[in-house]
Chain A
Amino acid sequence: MKRFRRHGQESQRDRLKQELYQFNKTVEHGFPHQPSALGYSPTLQLLAIGTCSGAIKLYGAPGVEFMGLHDENAAVSQIHFLPHQVELVTLLDDNSLHMWTLRAHTGLSELLEIGRFTLTGPPGAPPSVTRVTAVLAHSSGELLLLGTEGGHVFIVQVPGFRELEERNISLAEVANSVPDDNLGHRNLEHVEALQENPANPNHVAIGYGRGLIIIWDLEKRCAIQHFLATQQLESVWWTEDRGYILSSHSDGSYCRWTFGEENGNDVEKSDIPYGHFPCKAISKIIQLHTKEGTPFLLFSGGMPRASFGDRHCITVIHNKTHVALDFTSRIIDFFVIKDGQLNSGGPSALVVLVEEELVVIDLRAEGWPVIQTPYLVPLHSSAITCSHHVSAIPLKLWERILAAGEQQKTNYSKKPWPITGGQNLAPHPPQRDLLLTGHEDGTVRFWDASGVCLYPMYKLSTAGVFHTDTETNDNHQGAEGEWPPFRKVGSFDPYSDDPRLGIQKIHLCKYSGYLALAGTAGQVLMLEVNDEAAEQTVETKVVDLLLGQEGFRWKGHTRLDVQEEPVLYEPGFQPFSLVQCQPPAVVTALSLHSEWKLVAYGTSHGFGLFDYQQKMNVFIKCTLNPSDHLAMEGPLSRVKSIKKSLRHSFRRIRHSRVSLRKQHVNNTAKLQEANAHLEAELSKTELAPIQRKVEARSSDDSFTGLVRILYFADTFLSDSSHNTPSLWAGTNGGCVYAIILRLPSVEHRTDEPITAHPEKEIQLMHRAPVVGLIVLDGHGSPLPEPLEVAHDLACSPDTQGAHHLVVVSEEQFKVFTLPKVSAKMKLKLTAIDGSRIRRVGVAWFGSSQSEHYGESGLVVLTNQGDLHVVSLPGVKLQVRFPCIRKEDVSGIASCVFTKHGQGFYLISPSEFERFSLSTRCLVEPRCLVEVPLDLGASIQGVKKLDGYLSALSETSQEFQNSDSSARCVMEHALLNDEEVLQEIQKSLEGDHV
């Protein structure tokens, strides 16, 4: 009986777990890593980006995002939307073509792969015959022209990839229809470019690599004109109006040819824009017309090889204006968005995809300013060193941060975001969430993380507080008469002036607007939000964490020099107090208590407590083991081991490359393969077997004194009748220190000193690093954040029942009673499954079934990349989800949890993956892309009639060209159409019979 009941409880708990926890990876924020292709559909107004890892991402209006991943692990080399349709074709590095579509399903669109295709040549032909080098999605929306390395153009019907062999344009045909006086076979190498005549879809320009351009008539199946350039061809562009063809070449020149004239086979105009000296190739050229008449000419590359060959530039020429937009990373591709419904107007915005960001330039406004992108923002404009998430920001602080951010964005265009495809159907986010990222260059970026778009709100720089070597050296763009006329654009700037500025820990109090930042050189900076610009000097305190112990020599970096004169800080967060740890080791733990106006910080040497109201040191504790030289001497002494491990990993990379290479076997490479195999075998034998030492931890291990976690709690530390403020610290060596704080009464807070004295010290026997400390109140729920109760946002903690301390080490969870510390419960993790806890957070999970039910739990990420939820106060494992690959060490290290069961981790230096463990809190894109109206109207109409569509599709063809805006009229028409009605009638009867 008892057993039966217990079983009932178990299943009840299981049901509850299902109501509470659910794992989803929801959105990828930031900029895709290693983009390799760009596509744009003017009709859908969607942008597509393909990456080296085979992902494609579609973006429209903010919040409209789709993502797809090719099964093949090959780079996406080209993306083409089928004109006027919701399909797109991708070409991968492995020569496969893939058809994707946006299919609406229960009111939401999703990106699906619907077909794949690889060109097959005649048997025995070399693979180069079918190796696709150029793709043209024909404006009919039904044909795909594929130019290959062998010089053939294959024609394929889409969707469905049916080869139309009889229409293929073979080399022989081309050779036949062109007088062969100036045409050796050498001119007919690979197809470099395919362009359709915008005025006549039957005419296609085929550009061959050696410089020959053929105009081919698809109907008549013959060449109607040809041009022969002397230089290697890079791209071809067919102007929309007067029938010019532009070609760009590898020597940095471009040519203009006239189409349509009899025998007009000679170049009309040829120019090397940055000429005289040898130039690099112009890889793509575009000319666009404006209503005013003077065209826009845009091209990428073409820089003088010797002096500016390393620049990544796009040149824009319009009227007298000539600007070479200078990007900080390699240009992948670019396109221009045109005005007007049918994209018939003049160019309005230039969209450039470079390797590390997406830059959009307003071509309408004076000076061509940059438009702030609402998504795809490079998170890594300086490398991310840490992140911090704050949920449910009060509106007041939110607005102040927004206002501060607005004032920083003066250089941006006022134009609204020009890519507006799709509808964002996601509900309005229930709360305002901030994600703060700390960067290597000493900046902190504030991101609006409430919704699908991670939108940059405000950027804070701490570099101004310190003297750094680099002074303002940029903005040389104004130099008159400089040629080429460079203009720096883009925000990606990975070069840090001084690595010591790097931000390592962030703590923001959302109620008071205090912000604590800690950095690489032991600096702890206190900032406060201020709506006005202000000139301030930062009060500095140097703290000796070794407490004057002798015999140590710090070999790491020095402290940062502080600016002594007042500095003008812009509105936003302004620094007012600075603590510099000595030795200036990286700050490894930080905690802010805004109610008590205290900040605690820790390094590998010890920890300190600072009163930022009185600007006084309250307490310092040295945790360093005197024999721990590694920790003492600082990062320099570790170089050797890093070198060693680098060498090791390089070896292994080489090893894995060799095995990777094996996958790309082609006929000619048999010998290579054999060699590779041999090499792999060799490297296997060379490589000393990886072995691991099995040894219990001891107090003599290195970095045992490193402070991992600091935690403020108002709890029962010395006796069970009075709760007192306390500070808790956990170290790498499994030691927990508890310090009692005596705060003066509120009215004497500014003049009476705060005292602190150590009360307890717990040495965990297993000595694993302490990564989390949480005090639970009498109800077993975690203590609220400072000021949360004061702002009526949490009920005050229960001080009647006994408090408990939860110590989370890398190996286990342990619950201790308070004030007398004795072990009550524990949960071992490492001893059972060999995984170790890397990240821990407290989160609240609401039930999906009942509005009022919810539980607090610990969210844990292990070194195996698994997420666990552990219940409180019972410390029982609830659920486990594999989340990150265990090899992705930086991803695991970057993980940050929210208070409501979501989290973020870096999947690349530039992208956050957002995940959710909660059934209730889920931020994911929900969006709909409708079939373009001019074509799809009929289909839409049919949809309304639900089941009868197949019969109707033919009948409704006649409506194809009807004005789409009058959809309801059309529906009406459909229903009034006698034929249709009859058919409906018929099918209805058919049902009945």
Chain B
Amino acid sequence: MNKNHRVPSSRSLSAVEVKSKFGAEFRRFSLDRSKPGRFDEFYGLLQHVHRIPNVDLLVGYADVHGDLLPINNDDNYHKAISTASPLLRLFLQRKEEADYTTFGTDSLTRKKNTVLSAVLLRPDPNRKKPPVIISLPRDFRPVSSIIDVDILPETHRRVRLYKHGQEKPLGFYIRDGSSVRVTPQGLEKVPAIFISRMVPGGLAESTGLLAVNDEVLEVNGIEVAGKSLDQVTDMMIANSHNLIITVKPANQRNNVVRGGGTASGSSGRSSDSGASYYGYSSSAGLSASTSMPSHIIQNFPVGELESDEDDEDLVIEAGGDIEPISRTPSNYSMPPLPRYEPHLNLRASASPSPLPVNGTVLGCGSSGSLNKPGSSTPSPDRAARRRSLEEDGTVVAVIFDHQRALKSKNCESVPAQIQENILLQPQLRGT
């Protein structure tokens, strides 16, 4: 993690008002926006003003979107200072009491889901072990993920966008166009749908996984071939809470490549400083399907990954209290539980074998097909697969938006998210 002390320069002349809350106590003080200093100095300052010198703290702040985000390094500290307008509201917790789940988006409304599924979803005895803390998992907000790498052709990419309740727009446009298909009769020009524009600052752009001129092949597992632009638009909007788009990227150079030998970074990628990391990221799909999932599951309780949003219609009773609609237990027959078994099984079967070094793995590296029978697609039935796709996909690599702090300092050629993803991995691999 190369630290880049780029001091926010704009509007830097004023002071930042800080209001810090610990328990029931408030402290107010101010900081110089232009010279925020380092995080550990700031941490010390907080311990000082609250007069809790020996207490380990978890520092959080409310960002402009109203989300509770943590401050635990220089980057996010600077980000917090630079975005505070005019007041920076801090929330301090004792580390041992800290409730990580409060971080993230819509923390309050989502709580029940996470707790519940966290309990339900881990029959594995491993869960008894205290979770490995990879810098704080709650420091990250899932923005998107590449999924189903094992079952898709390498030229395709299935991207899941996590809209959640956040205000950030999906932020992209699609258009009509034509694409060339290979048919038994030869090449054929067929109408197709493409991404035509990205809204700066939108969710789609921030993932770095979608780009202008990417051809849209599927929306939530349903092929778009033969559908009009309006139909595809409506499908995407209808699925906007949990949008899974399968694209054929216009730029085929950043594909996730399966199989061995990828770690060498020789698959035609740009040779900038990030190249060595690419090796990891390219095998991310692979290593993820072998060793990583358990952590991901721990980090992100299934409830959050699920597409329940549109079930959570709000009902306001005459009294005025708002409650999300709960499902009546009777009719729903799709418990989320089995969905993650594939990973668990896989993990279990993979764990006795030594961990892959440099991405060259036991036989399964050669093709994605080996992963498949492992029951990531339990039923060969296509319809069933579609359904499961709609509801959920096999998570292979989750990509985080490190509370927007890192985003501002990504290097030109490498999508920051991939880099962040990489940030996770070294620690994972160490376990």
Interface string of A200-213 (1 = CB under 8 A from B): 00000000000000
Given contacts A692-B229, A694-B237, whether A758 and B327 have CB atoms under 8 Å apart is no
**CA of A115 to CA of B48 in the docked complex: distance in angstroms?**
101
Contact A822 B328 (CB under 8 A): yes
Tell me if A689 is interfacial: C-beta within 8 Å of chain B.
Answer: yes
Identify which of A766, A811, A822 contacts B325 (C-beta below 8 A). A822
Tell me if A399 is interfacial: C-beta within 8 Å of chain B.
Answer: no
Given contacts A690-B229, A696-B163, whether A765 and B235 have CB atoms under 8 Å apart is no
- Measured between C-beta atoms, what is the minimum distance from B300 to chain A in Å? 21
Question: Which residues from 802 to 850 on chain A have a C-beta closer than 8 Å to any C-beta of chain B?
Answer: 811-812, 814, 816-817, 821-825, 828, 830-836
Contact B241 A823 (CB under 8 A): no
**CA of A813 to CA of B169 in the docked complex: distance in angstroms?**
26
Tell me if B295 is interfacial: C-beta within 8 Å of chain A.
Answer: no
Contact A824 B234 (CB under 8 A): no
Tell me if B310 is interfacial: C-beta within 8 Å of chain A.
Answer: yes
Tell me if A7 is interfacial: C-beta within 8 Å of chain B.
Answer: no
Tell me if A757 is interfacial: C-beta within 8 Å of chain B.
Answer: yes
Given contacts A694-B172, A766-B310, whether A821 and B315 have CB atoms under 8 Å apart is yes
Contact A835 B231 (CB under 8 A): yes
Tell me if A322 is interfacial: C-beta within 8 Å of chain B.
Answer: no
Identify which of B196, B235, B314 contacts A691 (C-beta below 8 A). B196
Identify which of B174, B176, B220, B234 contacts A835 (C-beta below 8 A). B234
Contact B316 A830 (CB under 8 A): no
Write out the residue numbers on chain B whose beta carbons fall within 8 Å of the beta carbon of A863. Answer: 230
Contact B314 A831 (CB under 8 A): no
Write out the residue numbers on chain B whose beta carbons fall within 8 Å of the beta carbon of A689. Answer: 175-177, 196
Write out the residue numbers on chain A whose beta carbons fall within 8 Å of the beta carbon of B170. Answer: 694-696
Main secondary structure of the interface of A (DSSP, over half): mixed
Main secondary structure of the interface of B (DSSP, over half): mixed
**CA of A765 to CA of B232 in the docked complex: distance in angstroms?**
20
Contact B327 A760 (CB under 8 A): no
- Measured between C-beta atoms, what is the minimum distance from B406 to chain A in Å? 25
Write out the residue numbers on chain A whose beta carbons fall within 8 Å of the beta carbon of B119. Answer: none
Tell me if A864 is interfacial: C-beta within 8 Å of chain B.
Answer: yes
Closest chain A residue, CB of each to CB of B172: A694
Contact B331 A825 (CB under 8 A): yes
Closest chain A residue, CB of each to CB of B177: A689
Interface string of A662-701 (1 = CB under 8 A from B): 0000000000000000000000000001111111110000
Closest chain B residue, CB of each to CB of A692: B233
Contact A864 B222 (CB under 8 A): no
Write out the residue numbers on chain B whose beta carbons fall within 8 Å of the beta carbon of A690. Answer: 175-176, 229
Contact B174 A691 (CB under 8 A): yes
**CA of A816 to CA of B172 in the docked complex: distance in angstroms?**
34
Interface size on A, residues (CB 8 A): 42
Closest chain A residue, CB of each to CB of B236: A694
Question: Which residues from 305 to 322 on chain B have a C-beta closer than 8 Å to any C-beta of chain A?
Answer: 309-318
Contact B241 A766 (CB under 8 A): yes
Closest chain A residue, CB of each to CB of B202: A695
**Could you count the A-B residue pairs with CB atoms below 8 Å apart for me: how many are there?**
130
Write out the residue numbers on chain A whose beta carbons fall within 8 Å of the beta carbon of B241. Answer: 696, 765-766
**CA of A830 to CA of B227 in the docked complex: distance in angstroms?**
12
Contact A823 B237 (CB under 8 A): no
Identify which of B197, B220, B233, B318 contacts A831 (C-beta below 8 A). B220
Closest chain A residue, CB of each to CB of B326: A822
Tell me if B240 is interfacial: C-beta within 8 Å of chain A.
Answer: yes
Contact A765 B175 (CB under 8 A): no
**CA of A693 to CA of B39 in the docked complex: distance in angstroms?**
41
Interface string of A136-162 (1 = CB under 8 A from B): 000000000000000000000000000
- Measured between C-beta atoms, what is the minimum distance from B66 to chain A in Å? 15
Scoring B232, B236, B310, B327 by chain A CB atoms within 10 A of each residue's CB, the highest score goes to B310
Closest chain B residue, CB of each to CB of A836: B234
Contact B311 A694 (CB under 8 A): no
Tell me if B171 is interfacial: C-beta within 8 Å of chain A.
Answer: yes
Contact B238 A695 (CB under 8 A): no
Closest chain B residue, CB of each to CB of A766: B310
Given contacts A696-B241, A760-B315, whether A823 and B327 have CB atoms under 8 Å apart is yes
Tell me if A630 is interfacial: C-beta within 8 Å of chain B.
Answer: no
- Measured between C-beta atoms, what is the minimum distance from A70 to chain B in Å? 29
Scoring A696, A816, A825, A886 by chain B CB atoms within 10 A of each residue's CB, the highest score goes to A696
Tell me if B425 is interfacial: C-beta within 8 Å of chain A.
Answer: no
Given contacts A692-B173, A692-B174, whether A759 and B318 have CB atoms under 8 Å apart is yes
Identify which of B175, B220, B313 contacts A762 (C-beta below 8 A). B313
Contact A834 B313 (CB under 8 A): no
Scoring A697, A761, A812 by chain B CB atoms within 10 A of each residue's CB, the highest score goes to A761
Tell me if A763 is interfacial: C-beta within 8 Å of chain B.
Answer: yes
Write out the residue numbers on chain A whose beta carbons fall within 8 Å of the beta carbon of B318. Answer: 718, 757-760
Contact B327 A822 (CB under 8 A): yes
Question: Which residues from 331 to 379 on chain B have a C-beta closer than 8 Å to any C-beta of chain A?
Answer: 331
- Measured between C-beta atoms, what is the minimum distance from A862 to chain B in Å? 10
Write out the residue numbers on chain B whose beta carbons fall within 8 Å of the beta carbon of A692. Answer: 173-175, 229-230, 232-233
**CA of A830 to CA of B310 in the docked complex: distance in angstroms?**
13
Contact B173 A691 (CB under 8 A): yes
Identify which of A695, A812, A828, A832 contacts B237 (C-beta below 8 A). A695
15 CB contacts below 8 A, A to B, read A690-B229, A691-B196, A692-B175, A693-B233, A695-B170, A696-B170, A696-B240, A760-B318, A762-B315, A762-B325, A763-B314, A811-B238, A823-B311, A830-B238, A835-B231
**Which residues on B are within 8 Å of A, measured CB to CB?**
163, 169-177, 196-197, 220, 222, 227-241, 309-318, 325-328, 330-331, 390
- Known contacts A689-B175, A693-B172, A834-B230, then 15 further A-B pairs from the complex at CB < 8 Å, ordered by chain A residue: A694-B233, A694-B240, A695-B169, A697-B240, A760-B317, A761-B316, A762-B316, A766-B240, A768-B238, A824-B328, A824-B330, A828-B238, A831-B390, A834-B238, A864-B231
